[in-house]
Each structure stands twice: as structure tokens, then as C-alpha cells.
Amino acid sequence: MAASTEIDVTAPFAGVVVAIHGDHAEEVGAGSPLVVLEAMKMEHEVLSETAGVIGELAVAVGDAVEEGQLLLRMTPGDGVAARAPAVNGAAATGEREDLRAVRERHEIGLDAARADVVARRHEHGRRTARENLADLLDEGSFVEYGPLLFAAQEQRRSREELIARTPADGLVGGVGSIEGEPCVAMSYDYMVLAGTQGMRNHMKKDRLFDVAERRRLPVVLFAEGGGGRPGDVDMPIVAGLDCRAFELFAGLSGLVPLVGIASGNCFAGNAALLGCCDVVIATEDASIGMGGPAMIEGGGLGVFSAAEVGPIDVQHANGVVDLRAADDAQAVALARRYLGYFSGDHAPGAVPDQELLRDAIPEQRKRVYDIRRVVDGLFDEGSVLELRDGFAPGMLTALARVDGRPLGVVANDPTHLGGAIDADGADKASRFLQLCDAFELPALFLCDTPGFMVGPAAERTATVRHFSRMFLTGANLTVPTGTIVLRKGYGLGAQAMAGGGFKAPLFTVAWPTSEFGAMGLEGAVRLGMRRELEAIEDEDERERVFSATVAAAYERGRGVNMAAYGEIDDVIDPADSRRWIAMLFERDGGGWRARPGKKRPNIDAW
């Protein structure tokens, strides 16, 4: 037992003595470390409870002790400053060695540490991966995944070189926010092995795609790069076709919005991911292809420069590119704007002068007009974002807002084929409607069509199958739809512009300029009255009868007559259109994020 003037210091648990701080007769303050015990591979400091003088030591380094066993005795003394615990790797007043090493390792991958390659990037008028992500995401919101990765090439290069030359394994990715809404964002880094897809950046994509699925986050992918990377040799593979990135990314289609951005070269695997996206944004210098110059030459298909493979003029006109941007900055701005339509209601925008719509359609029934003037006049100012405007010019597809609430718009353009729906137009409309349905956007049809495109040339484009996609998609929509007939509403084409028929939408209304028929009226008269017309020998009389019959058919097919017989819901003042459109918006809908899973299996790439 200790004398009444002594204090026993005992082991708080069983362990091994690995260090003793202080010597016999040394004064220590309350809270000073005295003995270090190790238990279960962890070291624990035993601290003095009061100030005093170290007396008898009962143990030595290496001794095993039991709980409650005496370690040493102290004599109470006047207070002195507590001895600070030992600091591993650095002085107590400096940066810890472990923290310094981690900080420096992270800094190696930043643009500031690669001034030479960044300068070359800027010389070509291009931004770096990190610059694009910084512009896309709200300031300070980016949480990066896998920044310490490097290329799997240690059999070919030193680790030090790989850390310096292949930071993040060429893919910068993580979670951030856009206008306060969280999203997954990732960018191939063209300054690292030409933005190719390596073993470890595939693993990173897999991880981020999983995060996107579990948290229901939109994904923005900057897809610049050359596809698969043959130089990653640190893995026992033959072809690597068991990579999961493509399956996991494509599996997100219809669950979360997917945005792809292409600038510069985007080939092979990078292009395949781009093509899975709901919307593709590409810059003027983009060249997009399923195979780059090396693959083309290797296949014996000729020698081409990267710029010749899939330039923007080709990919915009053929429908691969939805939105064409001047440069990286505009591409980022378009991505932010696009995602805004899927983040719920915004503050109401200014309403254009609705009375101007009364004169948007010429009174002369054969005179063309600008459908974009109509669309811009219907919706909140500055809210219309047209998609795929370089492809299928007879069909307009756009996102827009009414009083801040987003919706999709499908409209015929009478300046192309008179508004007739061809195979490309049907594909464009059908795919856009899938997008609206998947993410709970109401859809408004603006109908002005003489029907579907006919003739031998049209049939060579497989119109039968392509046009029918509008019926298949329209009949299976679950979002609210409405149709406004601006002028022509003829035949199957008009029914397709109403989701399958005029009773399918929540409303089908028409403007005063509207006209209707089961088919084009001139053709209907020629077919229906063929015998009667052939029986009239006088050519002038035959033309008079034909014209009179057509005029009567037009009068019978006017919108007011359609409404009088209940085939449409009303003929309205064009200035009153927004009041009807407002019916499309659910007051208590939870949006796409509220669903437990997908509504549709996926959104078609085409």
C-alpha cells in the first residue's frame, strides 16, 4: 500500500508497457503522460491525475500488466505545467508529417502543378478538366473521388513518374451541386494519356455511377478522349471486356438525367458513353466517332485525321448532337441550363405579349410562318431550349416553362415539307417524348401537319416503322399531354401529334386558323369524286366543280365545325393558350426523384 502522502498510478486495463515518460523525482503537472500501454495493437497513454513528483517505478518497458496493477507512485506536489503528449513526425507547432504528405500528394494532380501541359492546353483554346468542372459546379461544392489514383503501368514506369504524369488516372470526378441541386460530375483529362479509359478510372466511374444510382443524382460527363487504353499492363487480362462501366452507365438511363459534353476528340469507349446520354452537347471543334483514326487505319479503312472522322457539322445534322456550343464555356452553360428543367419549378419568367399570337399564323392558309416565333411567344421569356435543332427540320422539340414550370414541346415546322412527318421527324419526336415521360415533364403538341410523308422515296426510309414509333410512344405516356392545332390537322399525322388521337390528351383545342380532315382535302376530293369528275367532259367545268367541292370540304373542316361536333374541345383565342397549357401541371406531383425506381426501362439513344 502507498503511504498516505503517496498516490498509486495503476493500469486501467491489461496490456504491455511500451514506454515510460519521466524519471524518478521528476515533477509533472496534472494531465502529463506517464506510461504508455499497448492493448489490441493500440497504444494508450496513462496520464497523471494531479500535479506531483514521480516516485517509485513498479514496471519496466516490456512488462505485461493486468488491470489495476501498480505502475508507479507519485508524491503530491505544487502544480507545474503539464508535459505535452509526444507528437509523431512533427513538432507540436508545425504541420504533421502525415498531413503534409497527403496535402502534397493531392497538389500533384492540380493544374498548378502541371503548368507546362496546362499552358499547351490553353494555347489550343481549350480548358482543363478541372476548369470545366469548376465552371459547371457551384463554388466549393465539389467533393472529389479517387484523386490519388494513377495509371496501372508500374511494370513500364516508376511509381513517381506515374503519380506525376497520370494524376487521378485521367478522370476527375466526384459529387457537387448546380444551383444548389446535387449531381455527379466527371471529366476525362485529355492532358493525361489523351483522356483514354484506364483500368483505375473505369473503377472510379463504376463507383460514381453507383453513387448516382443510390442517391438519384443526375450525371454530367465531359467525354473528350480516345477510348480504351492498351498501355495499362498491371493487370492479368486478355481483352478486358468484363468492364462494367458501360453497363452501369447505360443502366442509369431513365432513372436520372444524363448529360454528355464533347469537345475536341471523342472516340470509341468515350463516344459510347456519350451516346448513352439523354442530351449530347458538343463544341465547334468536336470530332465524335465510334472509332478514331488509329482504329480506322487498323481496320484497313483508310487514313484520316481526327477532324475528318465525325466533325460537328456532320454530327449536328445527323442528330447525334442535341446542342451545339461555340466552346467549352458555352457547353457548360448549356449543361447547367438543361439540368435546370429537371430540378422542379423556377421563379415565373416574364410573359410575352400574348396578343401578338393572334397574328402569328397568316390568314392566307398556304402561307408559311416561323414556328419558333410561335413557341417563343407562348412560353416564359428566355425559357425555350430547343434540342436537336440541326436534325429533322420538320419537327421542333424543345424544353420550356410556363410561369416557371417546365414542360416539353413538340411542334411541326411548316417550312419543311409543309409540316409532313417524315421518318427522321417521327424518331426525333418519339425519343423526346420518352425523355419527358421518364422525368415527369408534361408534353404539349403544337400541330400543323398535312399528315405523314408518303411516296416511294419516303418508303425507302422505313417510314412505316419509324412513323409508328409516335403512336407506340404516345399511347404509353403517363405524363399529362395537350394538343393545340395551329393550322393543319390532317389524318394519321395529326393523330400522332395528339398521342394517338384527339381524345388522348387532356385537351385538344385549336386556333381560329385551324383546318381538319381525314386526309389532305384536295387528294380526298380527287379520290372520292374520281368518277364524277371524269364524267365532266368540259375541262373548265371539271376544275370549277373540283374547286367548289374542295372549298366546301375546307368549310366543313374548319375548327369551329370540329368543335361543334365534339371532335375537339374548343377553338380558342390564341392569346388564351397559356391558360389551357397550365392544366398540364400536376399540383401535387413529386417529380421523378419521388419515384422508387424507373418509369421506363431506358430512354432510346435514338
Question: What CATH number has the domain bearing residue 500?
Answer: 3.90.226.10
530-550 mean pLDDT? 76
Ranges 338-342, 393-397, 554-558: which has the least confidence: 554-558
Show the cell assigned to 57: 517505478
Q: Looking at the structure, do residues 15 and 138 belong to the same domain, yes or no?
A: no
Is residue 363 domain-resident? yes
Which run of H or E residues covers position 176? Answer: strand 171-178
Phi-psi region of 33 (alpha: psi -120 to 50; beta: other; left: phi over 0): beta
Q: Looking at the structure, do residues 378 and 325 belong to the same domain, yes or no?
A: no
Tens-place pLDDT, residues 362-379: 999 889 999 999 999 999
Q: Looking at the structure, do residues 138 and 256 belong to the same domain, yes or no?
A: yes
CA 377 vs CA 177, 258, 352, 488: distances in Å: 32, 29, 6, 20
Tell me the average pLDDT of the chain: 91
Is residue 81 domain-resident? no
Cell match 507547432: residue? 93
- Name the pLDDT band for 88 (thresholds 50, 70, 90): low
Contact 483, 474 (CB under 8 A): no
Is residue 599 domain-resident? no
Contact 20, 31 (CB under 8 A): no
Residue 172: CA count within 13 A, CB half-sphere: 22
Which run of H or E residues covers position 282? Answer: strand 279-283
54-77 mean pLDDT? 92
* Closest to 579 measured CA to CA, from 345, 411, 357: 357
Residue 575: CA count within 13 A, CB half-sphere: 6
Is residue 597 domain-resident? no
Tens-place pLDDT, residues 470-511: 999 999 999 999 999 999 999 999 999 999 999 999 999 999
Residue 204: CA count within 13 A, CB half-sphere: 27
Q: Looking at the structure, do residues 272 and 147 belong to the same domain, yes or no?
A: yes
Question: How many domains does one find in the chain?
Answer: 4
Q: Looking at the structure, do residues 166 and 312 belong to the same domain, yes or no?
A: yes
- Whole-number pLDDT of residue 598: 92
Q: Say which amino acid occupies 140.
A: G
Contact 381, 351 (CB under 8 A): yes
Q: Looking at the structure, do residues 140 and 283 belong to the same domain, yes or no?
A: yes
Q: Looking at the structure, do residues 196 and 224 belong to the same domain, yes or no?
A: yes
Q: Which residue has the higher pLDDT, 405 or 77?
A: 405
Torsion of CA 21, 26, 30, 31, to 10 degrees: -10
Q: Looking at the structure, do residues 331 and 378 belong to the same domain, yes or no?
A: no
Is residue 596 domain-resident? no
Q: What CATH code is carried by the domain that includes residue 20?
A: 2.40.50.100
Q: Looking at the structure, do residues 197 and 57 belong to the same domain, yes or no?
A: no
* Closest to 255 measured CA to CA, from 590, 589, 601: 601
* SS3 state of residue 183: strand
- Name the pLDDT band for 520 (thresholds 50, 70, 90): low
Q: Looking at the structure, do residues 116 and 229 belong to the same domain, yes or no?
A: yes
Q: Looking at the structure, do residues 538 and 571 belong to the same domain, yes or no?
A: no
Is residue 84 domain-resident? no
Contact 375, 398 (CB under 8 A): yes
* Closest to 51 measured CA to CA, from 11, 23, 80: 80
Is residue 2 domain-resident? no
12-29 mean pLDDT? 90
Whole-number CA gyration radius for the chain = 36
Cα separation, 492 vs 397, in Å, equals 19
Q: Which residue has the higher pLDDT, 600 or 337?
A: 337
* Closest to 415 measured CA to CA, from 371, 476, 454, 469: 371
Q: Say which amino acid occupies 469.
A: R
Is residue 94 domain-resident? no
- Name the pLDDT band for 92 (thresholds 50, 70, 90): low
φ, ψ for residue 434, nearest 5 deg: -60, -40
- Name the pLDDT band for 537 (thresholds 50, 70, 90): confident
Tens-place pLDDT, residues 123-158: 988 999 999 999 999 999 999 999 999 998 989 899
226-248 mean pLDDT? 82
Cα separation, 192 vs 195, in Å, equals 6
* Closest to 603 measured CA to CA, from 427, 445, 432, 400: 432
The DSSP secondary-structure symbol of 593 reads G
Of 340, 368, 402, the residue that ends a domain is 340
Q: Looking at the structure, do residues 569 and 548 belong to the same domain, yes or no?
A: no
* SS3 state of residue 275: helix
Of 302, 317, 340, the residue that ends a domain is 340
* Residue 72, number of CB atoms within 10 A of its CB: 21
Of 289, 316, 340, the residue that ends a domain is 340
* SS3 state of residue 427: helix
Tens-place pLDDT, residues 160-219: 999 999 999 999 999 999 999 999 999 999 999 999 998 899 999 999 999 999 999 999
Q: Which residues span the domain enclosing 550?
A: 520-557
**Alpha helix ranges (H) inside 518-569:** 521-528, 530-535, 539-556, 559-564
